[in-house]
Chain A
Amino acid sequence: MTEYGPLKLHVPEPAVRPGGTPDFASVRIPRAGSVARPPVDADAETIRDLAYSIIRVLNRDGEAVGPWAGLLSDEALLAGLRDMMTLRAFDARMLMAQRQGKTSFYMQHMGEEAVSCAFRTALLPGDMNFPTYRQAGLLIAAGHSLVDMMCQIYSNEKDPLKGRQLPVLYSSKEDGFFSVSGNLATQYIQAVGWAMASAIKGDTKIAVAWIGDGSTAESDFHAALVFASTYKAPVVLNIVNNQWAISTFQGIARGGSGTFAARGLGFGIPALRVDGNDYLAVHAVACWAAERARRNLGPTLVEHVTYRVGAHSTSDDPAAYRPKTESDAWPLGDPVIRLRNHLTRRGVWSEDRHRQTEAEIMDTIMAAQREAESHGTLHAGGRPSMRDMFEGVYAKMPPHLRRQRQMAGV
């Protein structure tokens, strides 16, 4: 015994559990426009405060204010709204398709649409994202084929990945979307490697890494930070903090660190927090970080502060671990509504146009769905062949696998 008495294990607890009243009082939300915009070559040491604040552009009245505003034209903003609405409608249809048994599994983006949709617009052809399962907006904003995405979800005969991969773990080299692994965090460090390769080859391409708040606990995240820091890799390191892993609140992964962004400071990596439900803010921060990478100034860590409104996946029911109304209490609002209000304020959008666009988008999605389903769904219609199962393990099929394929009779 010491004079201090017995030790006690500390286990973080969320502010509220199911049955309680949602409470985000501890989330400090700075006023829109209040956070400075440093030059892109600022020294990480001089902008440490950005790791503890939240960069916001859209205020409560739907105005774009402050030093991070003013980058996007009406047209670009209208396209952004369309992308987010498309992603939301896509999610709704695919969620329903999963419930109807047309596929095994789905993961939606509800509440987080701005993060991937807005970020994509800061990238150039040749840049590569290393996404998680919750960044389909990167594909949608790139104009990727919705039919192809659905065929992947259905694991049907037109699935570009031949039925081999779990739904939503897309891959599109063409659209700068690296094959998504089901293993969390593994790709964060690969993004750094991709970026280092671009530097080794003397190219101009950059890489973008993505990870969830929960997954930052994996060692791969920490390895990525040290390599990115050491080699000043041209990479943007994104953390999507949607407050929850599956059932564990962000405090379990964050521990005693004030914010996830602050993890970058110890590595000398400039670290910013951005309002992830603010399309304009995400876009502005993405441009800032991408420019740093392109100018060979090295990595930037970006924490997107957002909220996972839906269930973790179709295998999950959040009512077991958080209050049902928690998402309504989330102080940063809904990304679609916020951009819509801004466009209305700018005088380029109206209730009517919104409704009309919503209907148009739903038509497009339904047409894509009909086409995708004409090629089969997981348990009915056209499916990938058993031969496809044996192909692609190696560039050239080794004899033992050829024997097995013969045994299987295909």
Chain B
Amino acid sequence: MARKTMIEAIRDAMDVMMGRDDDVVVFGEDVGFFGGVFRATQGLQAKYGTRRCFDTPISELGIVGVAVGMAAYGLRPCVEIQFADYMYPAYDQIVSEAARLRYRSNGQFTCPLVVRMPTGGGIFGGQTHSQSPEALFTHVCGLKTVVPSNPADAKGLLIAAIEDPDPVIFLEPKRLYNGPFDGHHDRPVTPWSNHELGEVPEGHYVVPLGTSAIRREGSALTILAYGSMVHVAMTAAAETGVDAEIIDLRTLLPLDLHAIQASVRKTGRCVIVHEATLTSGFGAELSALVQETCFYHLEAPVVRVAGWDTPYPHAQEWDYFPGPGRVGRALLETMAA
């Protein structure tokens, strides 16, 4: 085992799968020769050739559209959209085509493809390099949506996604690429080499889609989080002293409802955290599920902490980002309720 960054873990997953399965192909904008603007595919073209890893024209519609055709043919494309903010031209191909192909052809044609995309803010990328569009995918029947929070999971989840028989949207919190960002932007970044989840097993392994992980056991309150917010939640719990149980959802769909129920029934309180905007965000779905399945165990209203309902601003990045301060306040308020 070696310590890896999240980018290295993601690259490792593609490398392992390309090595095992000749049908796995990787492509996207700047993905081939250069190895991707975040270097996730670095070295793959040199190793597997331009037939398996190549640059595409700048057309997200084109990237996903050809991936649907290839997947239906029998390949397993794992494509990159340079930033989640640029996936909208591909949305029709994802929603109307990839997601429904199995259903509408009664299984004659299927679509085992993975669409990777960096998400989230924290790099002063402004409104077009910061978005978290997960709810636009979880709302679509036929898609699976994955959001890893660390290198070890990222590799196992991506391998599971590539092996999955259905289309998977793989959202990579870019602020976590190089370290477990705790939400304090004014402090030095800890690298993954200092974190136990930077320990990435060699070779092939999967983290099954639909399984969550408990990052911190606690009895006072349950925090549901995913991606970069897992680390922010850890910080908030540490700073407030609230004995929170922190569940890293890892996949939003399929969702590990059992783990959520078990925890909320134990703690009686639930705070949901995501970076995406609040209204109609995935937190609304989680909140409804907690209310439906844990109502008689709840001792306080379910609370959501999320990005404000505005486009992601540039200068006000840290006013926008739901950092440990805002999450911590929500924890204390929920405990007091």
Q: Does B37 contact A (CB under 8 A)?
A: yes
List B residues at the A interface (Cβ < 8 Å): 29-30, 32-34, 37, 50-51, 54-62, 85-86, 88-89, 123-129, 278-279, 308-311, 313-316, 319-320
Chain B residue at minimum C-beta to C-beta distance from A321: B34
Interface-forming stretch among A19-27, A87-95, A177-185, A290-298? Answer: A177-185
Q: Given the known inter-chain contacts A182-B128, A401-B309, please indicate yes or no for A155 contacting B34, CB distance below 8 A.
A: no
Contact present for B57 and A214 (CB under 8 Å): yes
Q: Which residues of A contact B61 (CB under 8 A)?
A: 218-219
Q: Does A31 contact B (CB under 8 A)?
A: no
Contact present for B29 and A245 (CB under 8 Å): yes
**9 further contact pairs, Cβ within 8 A, besides A159-B315, A164-B127, A165-B314:** A17-B33, A104-B125, A183-B86, A183-B128, A184-B86, A218-B58, A219-B61, A247-B34, A248-B33
Interchain nearest-CB distance for B240 vs A (Å): 18
Q: Which residues of A contact B29 (CB under 8 A)?
A: 245-246, 248
Interchain nearest-CB distance for A183 vs B (Å): 6
Q: Which residues of B contact A246 (CB under 8 A)?
A: 29-30, 34, 37
Interchain nearest-CB distance for A240 vs B (Å): 14
Contact present for B50 and A9 (CB under 8 Å): yes
From 383 to 404 in chain A, residues with beta carbon under 8 angstroms from any chain B beta carbon are 383-384, 386, 388-390, 393, 400-401, 404
Rounded to whole angstroms, the CA-CA distance of A162 and B311 in the bound complex is 13
Please name 17 pairs of A and B residues whose Cβ atoms are closer than 8 Å in the assembled complex, sorted by A.
A11-B51, A163-B315, A163-B316, A164-B313, A164-B314, A164-B315, A166-B125, A182-B126, A215-B58, A219-B59, A219-B62, A246-B30, A247-B33, A389-B308, A389-B319, A390-B308, A400-B279
Contact residue among B37, B54, B85, B310 (Cβ-Cβ distance under 8 Å from A11):
B54
Interface size on A, residues (CB 8 A): 51
Contact residue among B60, B62, B315 (Cβ-Cβ distance under 8 Å from A384):
B315
Q: By DSSP majority rule, is chain B's interface helix, strand, loop, or mixed? A: loop
Chain B residue at minimum C-beta to C-beta distance from A316: B37
Contact residue among A155, A169, A255, A315 (Cβ-Cβ distance under 8 Å from B315):
A155
Q: Which residues of A contact B279 (CB under 8 A)?
A: 400
Contact present for B127 and A165 (CB under 8 Å): yes
Contact present for B85 and A182 (CB under 8 Å): yes
Q: Given the known inter-chain contacts A214-B58, A219-B61, A247-B30, please indicate yes or no for A181 contacting B128, CB distance below 8 A.
A: yes
From 117 to 176 in chain A, residues with beta carbon under 8 angstroms from any chain B beta carbon are 155-156, 159, 162-167, 169
Contact present for A386 and B310 (CB under 8 Å): no
Contact present for B58 and A166 (CB under 8 Å): no
Interchain nearest-CB distance for B334 vs A (Å): 15
Contact present for A245 and B126 (CB under 8 Å): no
Rounded to whole angstroms, the CA-CA distance of A182 and B85 in the bound complex is 9
